[in-house]
């Protein structure tokens, strides 16, 4: 089983950017944490970060075919990234959205989330723990999907 883990703009700067919102943990450290969890479940994670919406879309078009799900922190694209939203929808994969900060308790523009209707669930406000919870949800969902499809065969 393969899960795509995507990060949008500025998330490569974790550890250095606005530590009051995002903490001091780097993206590499988050990836290591997720890798540990995935390994125990024999799941492959494919990590990708870009500061460009089109590059994220190119990645999804190329790699979603062989994946079982998507874990994504779209960064600020969360609030206005309609072409990313369309590309995510086109994958037809289960998607879980994560945020380090609580986007509902910050500036007004962050309350708009163009992905909220297309994701299984959103995890936010728990810093890197949001990722752990989000990955657990996605794995559980994919496993349930697989066992349900087996039972109906
Ligand atoms: C973020 C929240 C977004 O509003 C912001 O633009 C980010 C990070 C988060 O993880 O809390 O870049 O997605």
Looking at residue 54, what is its pLDDT?
Answer: 98
Residue 22 a catalytic site member: yes
Tell me the pLDDT of the chain averaged across its residues.
96
Which of 22, 78, 129 maximizes ligand 1 atoms within 8 Å of its Cβ, making it the mutation to test the pocket? 78
- Give the tens place of pLDDT for each residue, 38-67: 999 999 999 999 999 999 999 999 999 999
Ligand 1: centre distance to CA 51 (Å): 13
**Distance in Å, CA 26 to ligand 1 centroid:** 14
Domain ranges of the chain: 2-151
Q: Which CATH superfamily is domain 2-151 in?
A: Dehydroquinase, class II (3.40.50.9100)
Q: What is the pLDDT of residue 150?
A: 78
What pLDDT does 153 receive? 64
Query: Under a CB-based contact definition with an 8 Å cutoff, are residues 27 and 49 in contact?
Result: yes
Q: What is the CA radius of gyration of the chain?
A: 15
Distances (CA, A) of 61 to 29, 42, 48: 27, 24, 13
- pTM exceeds cut of 0.85: yes
Cβ of residue 30 lying under 6 Å from some atom of ligand 1: no
Answer yes or no: is the C-beta of 75 below 6 A from any ligand 1 atom.
Answer: yes
Q: Give tens-digit pLDDT for 130-147.
A: 999 999 999 999 999 888
The crossing angle, in degrees rounded to 10, of helices 53-63 and 82-91 is 10
Phi, psi of 56 (to 5 degrees): -65, -40
């Amino acid at each position: 089983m393969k899960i795509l883990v995507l990060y949008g703009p500025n998330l490569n700067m974790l550890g250095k950017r606005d530590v009051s919102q995002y903490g001091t943990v780097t993206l590499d450290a988050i990836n290591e944490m997720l890798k540990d969890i995935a390994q125990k479940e024999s799941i492959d994670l494919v990590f990708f970060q870009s500061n460009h919406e089109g590059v994220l879309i190119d990645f999804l078009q190329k790699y979603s075919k062989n994946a079982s799900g998507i874990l994504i922190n779209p960064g600020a694209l969360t609030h206005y990234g309609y072409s990313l939203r369309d590309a995510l929808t086109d994958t037809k994969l289960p998607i879980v959205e994560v945020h380090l900060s609580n986007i509902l308790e910050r500036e007004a523009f962050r309350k708009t989330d163009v992905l909220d209707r297309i994701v299984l669930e959103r995890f936010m406000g728990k810093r890197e723990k949001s990722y752990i919870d989000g990955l657990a949800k996605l794995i559980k969902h994919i496993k349930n999907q697989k066992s349900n499809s087996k039972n109906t065969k």
